[in-house]
Structure 1
């Protein structure tokens, strides 16, 4: 057999052995033995060391060694106590295995470095006494080497186990933090896209649909025959329905807090006072409206007041506002009036589409919307809606 063939065979054998060892290590990592089986193995080894290692040991020495073996049952919960209980057997009997296992447990489960150092020194002294007093220089050297091995070996392995567990925990925390960062980044990107889409729908689509509804209303009024006016009326009604659906979609898109979003409840008269309080304006309220009004009428009143307060904040800062609401002659009558601006006027653009949308809503409900300046330099809005949405009174 040639040398090249021998080297090739040795290389192949080396690769197979590495593969087999790696597979074995992976199996051990994924098939860890239960803790009670590991402890039973250590206790059995310590008992065997106590009974078989020293020939001619007295009963007291054997008893101390067996106590040291039994102390390993406490090593997981009380590692320092377990090590202390192994010391009599180490100095008197034969408890090398028990003390080494207890020292390993201190390295693996104790954070205090001075305790580890003290335990290693005690182990060194105890093992030096166990191997017997040295007689020659060679015996001294051998005794020191063996004592260092039994003192530093278990504590070093324990520290490695503790470090590995700490690194594993940190890696898990890092992976969890990175996954959380990725989720947060995705949520932020999604929120931005939804906010952009909601803004586009509100600023462009809803305005365009409102203008179509206004044009259709003009066609309805100026139609040459009933068929043409009917087409215009249908177009206007469809535009109003589309606007309502767009508003609901914008509310969904602007909602935050994950993907499980629900459409926000539509405002009613009960929410009116909170709207007024949140406006921050000097407002006097005299609204006496029954909460039995139909939902479309309640929403119309709420949106009317909301738009009026928004216009006051934009065009008449710090102006006094007076809101009235009552049922009069079978109609819901709501008025919002404000005095002249008492603060610096904000130069904010206004398209007037908000009032146009309110007018369309009022028209669909069979009502009307009026607006205009007042004699004292302020502005007033007047909404009138029929109360035909009131449910019938219960029978006596």
Structure 2
């Protein structure tokens, strides 16, 4: 959707018309049909009032407008009530008469003639009104007090919406625009940009809170860095998975899935790093503690990932079960697909790809990074890293 905005109406109309013809001439692949919401040739019937004749009769334009409005659109004169609801009673002329201009010209206008002592009189509308047929604007939209014309189109199947929009943007840059006229992309792209900015802020806040909690828990900077690196590599796994299976990425649901994924992979990293610290506090050498922690924590990490992945697969493939008929007719009506797949599938596959990729990172990358960071700290501070002093009671440590 392209919005053209301007203060000068003539420039707005001419620019929007030129832009539509320009984009149509390019025949951009994926664009179904460009349509403008501005209509300049809408048929119109004008009823012109001879004010001099009307004033001579003592009839105001307000009386004429009210009579025509009641005749064509109707006016509520009462309401009918029953035991359940009430219904408006509207007064207006027959449909055949509403669509007949001659019948409208014969509409009697009732007024009180003060020159005849306040006598109520009726005169036909045609005695002081004439009809004129013409064309006019269907409507003028305004956004932020500026006149706006929108040009929009659907994207054909088999084409990526973002790629089509990028092509349109590149073509618009070479289109000559007057100084006081602005052109911008809106519609789904504008909503997508707003959603993306919100998710970036939300992810940044979540990342900051996770970092703060980890620093307070481990009283260290290197260990939170090891754990948080899993988030980055899990996102890489998500992108690899979507690329391999040629799935479409939804900005909203994929973003929510990444934030949910961050909590899961961080938890697995915490389990491994914390257990490694616990083994070192019991006197195990560094490499042995890392190896033993990876072996011990492999089972719970794998079980958690497997359970989550299996639970998300039905959501990803769109498995539908009718539980009502399952218990009443013993027929679950199982089928795959539906409208819910387009909404929930990106979230499910984001978490599935990220969990699978993040699990291997937890069991391989985290121990390696733990060893490297510990050796690096040993070289920087020129001293051997001693086993961590345990503040956990021995009974808990042995458990």
Instruction: Please give the TM-score of this superposition, normalised by the length of structure 1.
Output: 0.22
Instruction: Answer with 1 or 2: which has the greater Rg.
Output: 1
User: Relative CO higher for 1 or 2, CA cutoff 8 Å, sep ≥ 6?
Assistant: 2
Instruction: Please give the TM-score of this superposition, normalised by the length of structure 2.
Output: 0.22
Greater strand share, structure number? 2
Greater helix share, structure number? 1
